Amino acid sequence: MADHTHDLFVIGGGSGGVRAARFAAQRGARVGMAESGRMGGTCVNVGCIPKKLYSYGAHYAEGFTEAAGYGWEIAQPPTLNWATLKANRAKEITRLNGIYEGLMTNAQVLRLQGHGRLLDAHTVEVTSDDGKTTRHSARHILIATGGTPFVPEFPGCDLVVTSDDMFDLPVLPRRLVVVGGGYIGCEMASIFHGLGAEVTLLYRGEQILRGFDEEVRAFTADEMCKHGVDVRVNADVARIEALPDGTRRLTLKDGAQLDADVVLYATGRRANVRNLGLEALGVRQAESGAIEVDEHFATSVPGVYALGDVVGRMELTPVALAEAMVLVDHLFGPAPGQSARTMDYDNIPTAVFTHPPIGTVGLGEQQARERFGAIQVFRGDFKPLKHTLSGSSERTLVKLIVDAASDRVVGLHMVGADAGEIVQGFAVALKCGATKAQFDATIGIHPTSAEEFVTLRTMARG
């Protein structure tokens, strides 16, 4: 076996790369890592963390309004200091960047600041910020470079921003147009409406949130509209032009026009594979650019592996973390007393931080019908107790999908306050194969929205 300076070299310091580097080092491997940006990847810097912080911030506007029903008298209308929010967010992100750097230092990982590129299956060239290059040999190379926003080519595409830009806009836009109806677009629309912007969301399809349960999609769209987001489906942009005062004027394909201060394009993400040397090395990629891997995250080139968003499976931080542990076990063996992990993509819970938020685990109704044939659907929507005094017309949806043959709950969905927190617990139950009878036998916590999942007795449809 050739002598290498590293057992594992990781390109990318996001969630998956850091987890793989850290635990490989704990197994005794000699590990190096190259990251050209700030540590923590998309999630820490321009994804999950800042998004959730801004979502918290946006909810205060609703809270100020709803407080009157509980007897609170707010003398002056509250105002948002955008600069303060940005500064506090930046301080927290910098703290997290430091924690990720510390994880590498404490694990004795060689941490290199610069862009990594594969020269061959066992050699990485790292170009530092000042242009200097170094070469590093490794028995295994891991690509964990994540994804990047995608903007299609069209007249005026240079006048838009992406989700990466939204957390540090110089000025909070008075008018925001969001193009795209996926989870990122819907989250940004909800958040910036809550922060005070007038928001229009344009989606070229029939309904927002493609891939989610159909009833969840429709219910969320209705609630977003009730909150004040102007959701327009079957709407596509033909061109954008800049007016003399800086306004962005959008012309839609049906001829309609609307003006905005900022246009956010949230039209999907692509694997971040630019200038990695993959084509020259023969690493097989999908048409989208995503790196193709097997069940052990091995690419078509022996010795080169990839995981996380760059492989385009489920682009979620916890999924990248789990994939990293599977890879470490495969390459360096499991921890003492443990068996090697495998990756199971069924029943992975997720949340969408719209207003109100979505929590979901398992199959949607149509997916369940296609897989099992005979199913039972239990659902309910109601005004939460909080809003009996708040004055808000917001409602909550809870839904269970059951395989009729086995009585197993195969899908659980919620749209409402704290949906992500509630569904995480139920995800354990679905992972364990819980049945509807076991849900029915569970005592609820009263009064909560969560208890509705164990009190659904009447089948809505079969």
Q: In this structure, are residues 44 and 100 in contact, taking their beta carbons and an 8 Å threshold?
A: yes
Residue 35: partners with Cβ closer than 8 Å, 6 or more residues away? 12, 13, 17, 111, 112, 113, 114
DSSP summary character for residue 156:
T
Do the strands 237-242 and 396-403 form a parallel or antiparallel pair, or are they unpaired? unpaired
Distance CA 85, CA 54 (A): 8
Return the percent helix, strand and coil in the chain, to nearest 5. Answer: 35, 25, 40
Do the strands 175-179 and 409-415 form a parallel or antiparallel pair, or are they unpaired? unpaired
Q: In this structure, are residues 295 and 343 in contact, taking their beta carbons and an 8 Å threshold?
A: yes
* CA atoms in the 13 A half-sphere facing the CB of 111: 20
Residues in the chain: 462
List the Cα angle 430/432/436 in 5-degree steps.
55
Q: Which positions are catalytic?
A: 446
Distance CA 285, CA 263 (A): 31
In angstroms and rounded to an integer, the radius of gyration of the C-alpha atoms of the chain is 24
> Which DSSP string do the residues of 306-323 spell out, in sequence order?
E-GGGGTS---HHHHHHH
Residue with tokens 């032009």: 241
> Which DSSP string do the residues of 219-234 spell out, in sequence order?
HHHHHHHHHT-EEEES
Residue with tokens 């005979």: 374
Distance CA 279, CA 275 (A): 9
Distance CA 350, CA 347 (A): 9
Q: In this structure, are residues 442 and 435 in contact, taking their beta carbons and an 8 Å threshold?
A: no
Ranges assigned E (strand) in 69-216: 110-120, 123-128, 133-143, 147-149, 175-179, 198-203
